[in-house]
Structure 1
Amino acid sequence: MKMISPENLDLTIAAAQFAALGSEQRLGVLRTLVRAGPEGLSIGELGARSGVSGSTLTHHMKILASAGLVTQARQGRSIICAAVAYADVRALSEFLLTECCADRAAPCEDHLHD
């Protein structure tokens, strides 16, 4: 998935990515991959670290991959999973916060950094 600026983030893409993150287990899997860094983890190690394994992990990885948030690649006999959409995840949060308090008559205090 290409990098998306928060100003041009299409609602459909944002909705799909938020939907992919709408499960505690999927969010946990993504956080585990983010913590692992760009090298990623084998599917077995991802399962051990995230507490999600087997067909459930496969299901969640398919949803996260469809949303463009993770990749899976075969390396020898292992499948390596990695978070790839750091910029997209950042753009999702900016998508929500970029217009913070835009409809208020008085400007908001900068409470985004609290």
Structure 2
Amino acid sequence: MPERLQFHLDENVDPDIALALRRAGINVTTSQSANLLAQSDNVQLDFAKTNSRVLITHDDDFLILNSQGIEHAGIVYVQKDAKPIGYIIRMLILLYEVATPEELIGRVEYL
């Protein structure tokens, strides 16, 4: 398990968020960079779990998977178009600074 949070952004999350997080020194993958475009939500979540990455998503299907007891390394859910991109970036950086990977296992954080 890594000492710091690592993120995986599903394909619906603005790639500028990944760019900003990388500039802040945060390890980030995207569906595109991991060759997961058009893969199922289960595949995305499994990739994130296997690689100890917190999944960032706008897709409420991941909330359903969580409620079904699917194991994961953590999910950050942001309702689509509900928050400005700058806010999302700042909150993800804050989460990175204050949380450990162990604290987010099986949890959903809402932004």
- Scaled to the shorter chain, the TM-score interval is under 0.3
Provide the TM-score with structure 1 as the length reference. 0.26
TM-score normalised over the length of structure 2 = 0.27
Larger radius of gyration: 1
Greater per-residue helix proportion? 1
